[in-house]
Structure 1
Amino acid sequence: MENTSYWEYLKLNDDQHGILVTSVEQACILSKVLKENDVITAIDNVPIVDDEKLKFVDDTVTFTIIRQGQELTLTSPLDNNQTLVPLHSHDKHPEYLIYAGIVFTVLSRFYLYGFNKREWHRKAPTNLINLALHSHLQELNQQIVIINQILLDDVNHGISSDFANSVLETVNGIKIQNIKHPAELIDKISNNEDDGYNRFEIENQKIYSDIIGLVPNIEKITIQLHRSRILSRLRPRSLSSCPRLTEFTLLEAGIGFISDDIKSILGYMRNLLKLTLSIRDTPDPTFCHGPKFESILIEYLPNLCQFDYTMTHRIGNETLFEDFIVWPMNYVVYEDEKCEWVHIYSLPWPSNKYDKRELPIVKNQCNTSVTSDVKQDEYIKDVMITEPNELFELKTRFRRAYQIRTCLSIDTKLTSRISKVILTKQTRIASMNSMIQPFVRHLIVECRLNDEREIHLLARQFPHVEYLK
């Protein structure tokens, strides 16, 4: 610590020397005694100098530190420094979970040794190497859960072996903490007869497995796709792999989805009666060409009766428009400062209460100048409140909104769905005499707070805020 300004910021005297604590991992036992910007001046009463390496030899350690100009003496027990990918697992049996023929296990250094003990850092999959070398333990009992292998069976028919060595991120939308966590979540949904499948997300790719263990018996599926994994490679072994599937919904979030991808998916569902597609920012002009795209649907889905569609495409030199004949569509062309877009969609929209198609993209927001026939308010998630009566419409008109922006005094109790509130620059906090909002967890205040009274007013109105900006 040779910077004199920083020395003054830490409130150190000229004769005080030590090592600066820049961060402490939450899972480390020393986090209970050490804090960021502490300066350690002695260990077990032995003074240390700048840049000296710290060594611990006993089960406990005593630190002498300077914290905000005050000298403190703190004692802490020591434990083994755990990494997120364990360096050794002596006297421990490997932990694993098998569900629907998919074998999950914990990523460890011993697992990586299986690729080559001496050159694992070259032979193992790159994603696992990076985790082993650079990941840090954030919480106690945290583990990285991966797919070890997929045991071929009818229960997981269609799930490619390419998923091996992928990291399991969530189960049914809940982030995984360790190998026991997915087992608990699977048991929970398996006891609920109303649910049709468990959903696993691995490195932002979702795969689906029926909870009763028979994928071919599924009748309805909704998939939200966040990243393509070369879907066109996953060709079905049988064109009747899901013979009972009659309704399929695909919600794609701008991953570069192309017509070969949709072909590889539709090959599993020859008996489909209803198809819903929501495709955002596709580079493939095939989705704009009615006869071409309809020929794909007719070839793969000969029994299709209902097709609900919305698609957004950036217009390029290869873009050719031609009307849909079998399933008539509506077209809207609009532009921003960079390019022109075309939005193609079917009506009615929404076709029913389960219709989750999204409005087209404009600068990561929604383009609302589509048509008066589209019930746009049902799809707005971020609402700007400028009139008092709009607060009451959050329960009826804006039924999917979870975030509001306003400069008004909120004089009605917000629904539990509204978890985020943004008070804009025009807000006059001093004049607010608003109702308590118990469900708001995220609060952003863009206006100036002039005194403690205004701070107390906000604290009273939003008592359960967990994130404040």
Structure 2
Amino acid sequence: MTIQIDAAINGGNSGGPAIMGNKVAGVAFQNLSGAENIGYIIPVPVIKHFIAGVEESGDYVGFCSLGLSCQPTENVQLREHFKMRYDVTGVLVSKINPLSDAHRVLKKDDILLTFDGISIANDGTVPFRNRERITFDHLVSMKRPNETAKVKVLRNGEEHEFSITLCPLQPLVPVHQYDKLPSYFIFAGLVFVPLSQPYLHEYGEDWYNTSPRRLCELAVRKLPRKAGEQLVVLSEVLIDDINVGYERLAQLQVKKVNGVEIENLKQLCCLVEDCVEEFLRFDLDDERVIVLNHQSAKIATCQILKRHRIPSAMSSDLLNEAKGSSMESACLS
């Protein structure tokens, strides 16, 4: 829920109050790209919900989500296929986040009919104020963490009711990262980082069209399979004799290390650090492969770090978990 205003919101203005009379009507947070004097503010109900959550938990944990991706059911043939009577309205469940409680009870191709007793229209909206409508996601986001909601679904022509516990859900690729230094791991000049939208934003305001298409699609559409999962990317290659021929493989996702599927950057770091085999094999997206002699790569890593004045082969979050490792000790010495 947002309020559109006919005023410019320039860079650096986000977070400032929007005043109407002698009261705060909302908080400025974005403008409309390509337009003049069109901006948006966060309304008071959302601000109050945010403040109440911080006061209750002592920290910002995010807004609740059902973890669903839904499709409108306005097409008559679609409705007939899913056995929706003329007097029944709802939206089609197309994706379910495996980390959500909804994954426990709902199924793909369910028709979500009501949320807490409020009917959902075929376009996904619910009544809001006088003769207005708003997407039903608003009802979800106004719930507090660990609150339950009653949902009614149509499954194979039969109606079912379920209780779902709501909580904030972290996307596989983080949308925002505040007050947190980026994670990284450098080995043989290969710079590995977890994929995030702020990383893609470095391609400019039009990052959706200018960033690598494969990474952009993963960031927008890919769902996590388990808690703590990250998409690890070979961000760039710091040129050295050890990595000759690999410099064009940057901006690709790392799929496996020595045959083991990669779940996050910490796991990749451990697989590299604890390798006892002569060679390290990295399987990347687009069926690309990098092979390094492990011992030679360890020696080259220290030389590359000194050449580029990089104090550590890994970020502080990984370093705290890798104290005492042979490679890090050697590089620090």
TM class by smaller structure = 0.5 to 0.7
Question: What is the 5 A alignment of 1:327-338?
Answer: none
**Where does residue 147 of structure 1 map in the other structure?**
234
**Equivalent position to 1:89, from 177, 193, 200:** 177
Q: Which has the higher helix share?
A: 2
Task: Return the letter of the residue paired with 1:119.
Answer: D
Question: What is the 5 A alignment of 1:169-248?
Answer: 169-188=255-274, 190=275, 192=276, 195-203=277-285, 204-214=287-297
- Tell me, in whole angstroms, the C-alpha distance in 1 between the residues paired with 2:124 and 2:298: 60
Q: 1:22 to 1:202 in 2, by over 3 A?
A: closer
Question: What is the 5 A alignment of 1:112-127?
Answer: 112-116=200-204, 118-127=205-214
- Tell me, in whole angstroms, the C-alpha distance in 2 between the residues paired with 1:124 and 1:37: 33
Q: 1:121 to 1:72 in 2, by over 3 A?
A: closer
Are the counterparts in 2 of residues 157 and 215 from structure 1 also a CA contact under 8 Å? no
**Where does residue 307 of structure 2 map in the other structure?**
none
**Equivalent position to 2:219, from 109, 116, 132:** 132
- Tell me, in whole angstroms, the C-alpha distance in 1 between the residues paired with 2:101 and 2:120: 22
Q: 1:196 to 1:24 in 2, by over 3 A?
A: same
SS at match of 2:103: helix
Are the counterparts in 1 of residues 111 and 153 from structure 2 also a CA contact under 8 Å? yes
**Where does residue 35 of structure 1 map in the other structure?**
107
Are the counterparts in 2 of residues 171 and 200 from structure 1 also a CA contact under 8 Å? yes
- Tell me, in whole angstroms, the C-alpha distance in 1 between the residues paired with 2:232 and 2:279: 20
Task: Return the letter of the residue paired with 1:212.
Answer: Q
- Tell me, in whole angstroms, the C-alpha distance in 2 between the residues paired with 1:20 and 1:170: 35
The answer as to 2:90 corresponding to 1:18 is yes
Task: Return the letter of the residue paired with 1:78.
Answer: L
SS at match of 2:112: strand
Are the counterparts in 1 of residues 187 and 298 from structure 2 also a CA contact under 8 Å? no
SS at match of 2:267: helix
Are the counterparts in 2 of residues 147 and 166 from structure 1 also a CA contact under 8 Å? yes
Q: TM-score, normalised by structure 2?
A: 0.54
- Tell me, in whole angstroms, the C-alpha distance in 2 between the residues paired with 1:2 and 1:166: 39
The answer as to 2:249 corresponding to 1:163 is yes
Show structure 1 runs of 5+ residues with no match: 218-469
Q: Structure 1, residues 324-344: CA drift from partner, whole Å, max 9, x if none?
A: xxxxxxxxxxxxxxxxxxxxx
- Tell me, in whole angstroms, the C-alpha distance in 2 between the residues paired with 1:28 and 1:90: 24
The answer as to 2:130 corresponding to 1:58 is no
**Where does residue 44 of structure 1 map in the other structure?**
116
Question: What is the 5 A alignment of 1:36-435?
Answer: 36-53=108-125, 54-55=136-137, 56=140, 57-59=142-144, 60=147, 61-116=149-204, 118-153=205-240, 156-188=242-274, 190=275, 192=276, 195-203=277-285, 204-214=287-297
Larger radius of gyration: 1
Are the counterparts in 2 of residues 103 and 149 from structure 1 also a CA contact under 8 Å? yes
Shift of 1:216: 11
- Tell me, in whole angstroms, the C-alpha distance in 2 between the residues paired with 1:20 and 1:215: 52
Task: Return the letter of the residue paired with 2:95.
Answer: S
Task: Return the letter of the residue paired with 1:41.
Answer: L
Task: Return the letter of the residue paired with 1:63.
Answer: V
- Tell me, in whole angstroms, the C-alpha distance in 1 between the residues paired with 2:236 and 2:117: 53
Q: Which has the higher contact order (CA 8 A, sep 6+)?
A: 2
- Tell me, in whole angstroms, the C-alpha distance in 2 between the residues paired with 1:122 and 1:5: 34
Shift of 1:84: 3.2
Q: 1:121 to 1:71 in 2, by over 3 A?
A: closer
- Tell me, in whole angstroms, the C-alpha distance in 1 between the residues paired with 2:203 and 2:83: 52
Q: 1:148 to 1:6 in 2, by over 3 A?
A: closer
Show structure 2 runs of 5+ residues with no match: 1-72, 126-135, 301-333
SS at match of 2:95: coil
SS at match of 1:23: strand
- Tell me, in whole angstroms, the C-alpha distance in 1 between the residues paired with 2:109 and 2:253: 35
Are the counterparts in 1 of residues 74 and 122 from structure 2 also a CA contact under 8 Å? no
Residues matched between the structures, number = 211
Shift of 1:104: 0.4
Task: Return the letter of the residue paired with 1:175.
Answer: E
SS at match of 1:21: strand
Q: 1:71 to 1:86 in 2, by over 3 A?
A: same
SS at match of 1:22: strand
Shift of 1:13: 5.0
Are the counterparts in 1 of residues 188 and 298 from structure 2 also a CA contact under 8 Å? no
Shift of 1:208: 1.1
**Where does residue 333 of structure 1 map in the other structure?**
none
Q: What is the identity percentage for the equivalent residue pairs of Structure 1 and Structure 2?
A: 27
- Tell me, in whole angstroms, the C-alpha distance in 2 between the residues paired with 1:181 and 1:214: 18
